Each structure stands twice: as structure tokens, then as C-alpha cells.
A and B are shown apart, each in its own frame.
Chain A
């Protein structure tokens, strides 16, 4: 088996009535990588997640995991999959250990093998001293760790997580990502994770950006950022249209209006292209510029570059 097509998705489409949520989507995930799925709400990433997790029926297209077809062998896919949902899936009335034991039983683990596995994972996730506590008494961050440990109990081939850090404070988010990267490295578990947070997306090996059910791009975060060659300049002004035409006529600059600001991609090549351009803009449009910022491109800039829309506003439009 080639390692490049561990998870193979081809021409996947999904409709809710008339609305097309996924439009002939194709991509592959390689063994051992952390694959990120980035998109605003309504981009189709949750639909894709639900199809992969077997909660939604496969309508059109093919999905194969480790040579097992999602269409013909649901149970085979389910055995190989560890799933961490965005919403909690633990029973709050039961203790951490009870939750893990029940879940192990659902995957055919029992007895000493299960106990040992629970010990290993609760050590790794530093929740071993909480095994006797009922889940509803744990903090959100701890509950998430139990969720991930639960998903890993049966040593899945692929762990899929749907916005796993939703509702966590920044410290707990960083913690969780550290654990995920550890698991990926030490247990050789392939990870597919959806997110709408740019800083999380940058931690993935490869990243697929989805927008309105279509694949916008698929590459490593570095390569995506490199696709915007230079720096990004954002200008805040009272009259964006006036400034836009002014810059276009005076400096031959192509700019976009994004979320009420004027956005200019400075050409790459020279490292001081950006600063020089800032000076030129300020000189050309004296008095019109309220503030001007120069920044290195982020994944957010990649998204804007490719879709012409800001990430958060895209989600508002789609919602």
C-alpha cells in the first residue's frame, strides 16, 4: 500500500435537500500526517466530518480508509476510526474510568488489556488521578483530554477531531495540541482535524482550505503562506473607495476592500518592498490614512487572497 493514499476521498458530494454542502471534493491523507481541514462555518467541513465519522450516509463519491470502503464496510471503517466530536460525548453522570471502560467495551477491548491501555493513556494525558471523579465535575480542558484519550483507546488508524479546542481557554488549547502532536509522533496515529482557527491550522503538516463546499487549496501551511509572495498592508480610512482609486491612479496599486479596510499585497522580491510601499502610500494619500499596518502573510491572508473575503465575515455570510 502506498503511504500517500491512506485516506482517499474522491468526488465526494453531499446535499441537504436543494443545498449542495460538498461539491465533488477530492483529497488524500497520507499515513502519519496531521491533516488540517480549515474553513469558516458553512464551508462544508462539518458535513465532511460527519460523513467520515459514519454519522451521515455517503451520498455520492468514494471514501476509502486503509483500503476499506466506507460504502461497503461501515463496521470496518468504524473499527479503524477514533472520533472526537466537537460536542462532548462523555456521560457526565459516570466517572472517567467508567466512561473509558464502557467505550473500550464498545471496541471489543476488555479485562487486563483494557485496564493497561487506560493506565497508559491516562498517564499520557495526565488524568490518572481523576479516574474516580464523575465527568461533570471536571473542567472543560480536562473533559477534552478524556475525550481524546477515549478516542485513542482502541489504537485507531486514523483519529478525526472536529474543532477539538472549541470552548477551551488559550492555555488548554496549547496543551491539547501538544498532546495531539505527541500522540501523532509516538503512537504513529494519523490525525485529521477540522478547525476555524488559523494558529491551529499552522500546526498541521498539510492543510486543506474549504469554502462553500469547494476545495480552495491544499498544501503545507508554509507553502500556502509562501504563495503570497510579499507582505500585507492594511489601511484604515474614512472613504475606502476614494483611496482605492487614488492608489490605483497614482501608484498603480491593486487593492481590495476587505471588511471595511483597504488591503494591499506588497510584491515580494526585495525585503524592503513593504516598508517602502507604506511610505509611498502615506505620502500619496496624505491625510486620508487613519492607520496603516504592515504584516507578514498569515493563513488568514491566504484565505482572503483566494476567496476575496475575510474569514470571520465569510462565516457570518454563510451562517
Chain B
């Protein structure tokens, strides 16, 4: 028999910041990553699809592609590499939030919701988890860069990883907002396919916006992925080969940070509302 608890003093654990935010965020993040990695088909799906995309589109369109002012020998596979990196992150981050719907359906979420943790820890656990997963996948793909003669930017690597983390965080938050009110994964897939692919297509990943029609340019201008792509390209391909249409590096970073922070606030607000009749 262990120590007998006194029934009138039931909470031996103080409710401080560490206990209600830090520890639960850490534990939920860890669970998110472990759970994803135990489902092998998900890992493969999130990584293989974009790579196939990259080779097929990249090789097929290669000869007909010649961006303005690009240096001699700059291939489409190279141009397309940062875009593919972004696509991998987009897929992994957004689809990691399917676990919210699964958690709700399988019941895990009700245990989390009735625990005394801060609601923001529920959000942060998911967003850190999704961001880390997207980062892992991106780094795996990054190791393929030498195949297309893109040198891995060893010096800028810490900065690149930080950048990719911020992008992953924002994208996971986007998925969270869509997934939180939903009860079925099929609904999630439908919504995501409707605006995920266009979001990516109109980021400059596939073609530079320079020659596009005016309305397309405007969409690109308000597309956060556009700034993510510009920042990745800046680090990965060198500032010299920057697209003329790309925003300045500092501006891209600022947009990404604001995007991530705004969506985090929105996620937390959504989660704090107690869902009636769930």
C-alpha cells in the first residue's frame, strides 16, 4: 500500500506555468511525433508524393523553362527544388493536423480537454508537433540537394532550419483551424485539396510570378507561402540568383512570423471556446 492520500487535499500538484503549459506542451508534442512515426504509410506518403512530383514535373518541363536573368546552366530541377521542399512541408504540416480529428473521434481529445492544462498547451503541442514533423521531412529531402548540383548551405543551415520551423508552425496552425471544428477526415481532405494545392501553385513554386496575369500576381502577393518560398530560395540558391519578383529577405521573414503568430492566436481562441454538444 502506498501513501494514503488525504481526500480533502486532492491536488498535491501546484498549478504553475511549468505544470499547466510547459510540461503538457512537451508531452503532447512528443506524442504527436511518436504517433506519426509509428504510422509508416503516413511518413512515406508525405515524403514520396512531392518527390515524385519534383522528378516528373521538373524533368518534363525542364527544357521549356528559362527564367529571366537566370545564370547559365540553371536547370528547372534546381528552380523547382525549393518549391518541392515547401510542398513537402505543406503536406506534412497540414496533414499532421488530421490527428486532431482522429483524437476527437477516437476519444483521446476528451481526456486532454478535461485535464487542467492551459488550452494554449493543447494548441502548442499540436503546432510544435506538426512543425517538427515537417522539419524532419524537409531535412530528409534537403539531403537530396547535391543530386541537382545544389550545394547544401552548411553555414546557413541553422538559419534555414529555424526558417523551416517557422513555416511549418504557421502551416500546421492553418491545418489546425480547419481541423478543429470538423468531425470527419473526409471533410478535411475535401477542404484541404480545394485550397491547399492552389495555395502552393500560386506561391511561385512552379513558375515565377513575373509573367503572370495581374490578378494572379495579386493572389501571389497575399499568399504567405510566397514569402516562405522566397526566403528558402534566398538561403538555398544564393541571393545572386534571386527572382526579380521576390520580396526582400527581411520582409519575407517578417511576414512569416506575423502569419505564424496570428494563426496561433486564432487557434487558441478556437480551442478556448468550449464546444457545445460535441
Contacts and interface: CB of A to CB of B under 8 A. Distances in A.
A110 B14 CA distance: 13
B219 interface: no
B240 interface: no
A54 B110 CA distance: 10
A183 to B, nearest CB: 11
Contacts of A66: 8, 10
Contact of B114 (A53, A88, A120, A187): A53
Nearest to A155: B5
Interface of A: 1, 16, 31-32, 53-57, 66, 75-76, 78-81, 83, 85, 87-94, 98, 101-103, 105-110, 116-117, 120, 150, 154-157, 186-190
B217 to A, nearest CB: 45
Contacts of A90: 107-108, 111
A201 to B, nearest CB: 24
Contacts of A110: 23
Interface stretch (B31-39, B44-52, B65-73, B143-151): B31-39
B14 to A, nearest CB: 7
Given A55-B278, A93-B38, A108-B23, A85 B111 contact: yes
A98 B114 contact: no
Interface string B6-35: 011011111100011001101110110011
B115 A78 contact: yes
Contacts, number: 121
A21 to B, nearest CB: 10
Given A79-B116, A106-B115, A189-B7, A57 B31 contact: no
A247 B35 CA distance: 67
13 contacts: A1-B8, A78-B114, A79-B15, A83-B111, A89-B108, A89-B111, A90-B107, A91-B31, A91-B108, A102-B28, A108-B13, A157-B7, A189-B7
Contacts of B276: 56-57
Chain B: number of interface residues, binned into ranges: 35 or more
B19 A156 contact: no
Contact of A105 (B11, B24, B277): B24
A178 B236 CA distance: 64
A94 B24 contact: no
Nearest to B39: A93
Given A16-B277, A102-B31, A154-B13, A55 B114 contact: yes
Contacts of A32: 7
B2 A89 contact: no
B116 A150 contact: no
Interface in B49-81: none
Given A93-B38, A98-B31, A187-B5, A107 B108 contact: no
A166 to B, nearest CB: 13
B57 to A, nearest CB: 34
Contacts of A156: 10
A100 to B, nearest CB: 11
A112 to B, nearest CB: 13
B116 A78 contact: yes
B114 A79 contact: no
B136 to A, nearest CB: 18
A94 B34 contact: yes
**Could you say which of B14, B115, B274 has the most chain A C-beta atoms within 10 Å of its C-beta?**
B115
Contacts of B34: 93-94, 98
A234 B137 CA distance: 69
A97 B15 CA distance: 24
Interface in B98-128: 106-108, 110-117
A188 to B, nearest CB: 5
Contacts of B190: none
The 9 closest A-B pairs by CB, nearest first: A157-B10, A108-B19, A108-B13, A105-B27, A89-B111, A78-B116, A106-B115, A89-B107, A79-B11
B9 to A, nearest CB: 9
Contact of B110 (A79, A89, A157): A89
B155 interface: no
Contacts of A75: 15, 20, 116
Contacts of B4: 186-188
B1 A56 contact: no
B20 A108 contact: yes
Given A55-B110, A106-B112, A187-B4, A101 B35 contact: no
Given A55-B110, A85-B107, A103-B111, A155 B35 contact: no
**Could you say which of A57, A87, A107 has the most chain B C-beta atoms within 10 Å of its C-beta?**
A107
**Could you say which of B35, B111, B112, B278 has the most chain A C-beta atoms within 10 Å of its C-beta?**
B111
Contacts of B31: 91, 94, 98, 102
**Could you say which of A56, A92, A101, A102 has the most chain B C-beta atoms within 10 Å of its C-beta?**
A102
A85 B110 CA distance: 8
Given A103-B115, A108-B13, 14 more contacts: A1-B8, A54-B113, A57-B274, A75-B116, A79-B15, A79-B116, A80-B10, A83-B110, A89-B108, A90-B111, A91-B31, A93-B38, A154-B11, A157-B11
